[in-house]
Amino acid sequence: MKSEALVSVIVTCYNQQQVIADTIRSVQEQSHRNIECIVVDDGSADDSASLIKEISGADDRIRYIRRTNSGVSIARNAGFAEAGGEFIQFLDGDDTLAPEKLVRQLEHFQSDDSIDVSYTNHRHFIVKQNRFETFAFEPFTEYPLKQFLYGWHNGVSLPVHAPLYRRSIWTSDESPYPNDYHGRCEDWVFLVLVAAKGVKFGYLDEVLCTYCINSDGFTGDITKLCTAFIQAALYIENRLPGELRKGFVEDAIQRSLQSYHDARRNEVLYASGNWRLGNLLTKPVVKMLKTLKQFAGMR
């Protein structure tokens, strides 16, 4: 029975001593009790390690792994390699799960055994404003590969901890995150590769997890985000069937530039003088084009 299934929760942490205890607590408080929680410390330099060790010492369901800093994708793969559960739950060190999340998703799998990924709705916690907000995103089709390819961050979005995955999606010697991709936008790359397997997604319309938005982080820097988006698109292109490659990178570049202009619109409007306007518009574009040329030379 799915209600008795072991769920492996893989938590990644990097210098998150202020929040990691809350994240782990949200796992401990799951109403589904048959869990293992593998916390991968990606080389934190703060007090995260001592906090995690203290928590794991009092709960034998929690295991602590420390690695030299290698990035979140490698850390998730390291946790996955240690996981023995029938279902896999990824969780970043500053995000949380609602207590009933795993129970509700296991019931979802039990009600429809054809789905391979159960994903839920989520809310955002905006750190600087100390408030929660729920945004409306485009619902996925059951096989959402094209939505991920052409709609990501344009109405389509899915935080890493909203889905629960069947372990059987991946073969015994396979890592969920590609070991040869070291750029950002790793969740987009990951979801495209999952969807490209032809697995079926099912939606549970309940807010069952919280995504933390820190505007000082990577996702708060629109120039870095747009550049990384192009880098990720170039990686994805080489892993698509021929019929899906045509026009994909060009579309991604156009979306990236549009995202930049949309994000900076207010600043541009308030900027005075044509030279300042031109600088605001062209400086990050030049950076993105340099990145594009660099990666194009590697293809």
What pLDDT, in 10s, does the model give residues 95-135? 999 999 999 999 999 999 999 999 999 998 887 887 888 87
Q: What is the pLDDT of residues 125-150, one digit of tens each?
A: 887 887 888 877 888 999 999 999 99
Fold observed for domain 2-217: Spore Coat Polysaccharide Biosynthesis Protein SpsA; Chain A (3.90.550)
**Residue 205 CB partners (closer than 8 Å, separation 6+):** 120, 121
User: One-letter amino acid identity for 241?
Assistant: P
Higher pLDDT pick, 168 / 136: 168
**Residue 95 CB partners (closer than 8 Å, separation 6+):** 23, 159, 160, 161, 209, 210, 211, 212
In angstroms, the CA 245 to CA 238 distance is 8
Indicate the pTM of the whole model.
0.85
Residue 165 φ/ψ, nearest 5 degrees = -110, 145
In angstroms, the CA 75 to CA 254 distance is 32
- Please, what is the average pLDDT of the chain? 88
Pairing between β-strand 87-92 and β-strand 163-166 as defined by DSSP bridges: antiparallel
**Residue 66 CB partners (closer than 8 Å, separation 6+):** 40, 41, 43, 49
In angstroms, the CA 285 to CA 131 distance is 33
Q: What is the pLDDT of residue 271?
A: 59
Q: Tell me if residue 156 falls in helix, strand or coil.
A: strand
Domain boundaries, the chain: 2-217, 221-298
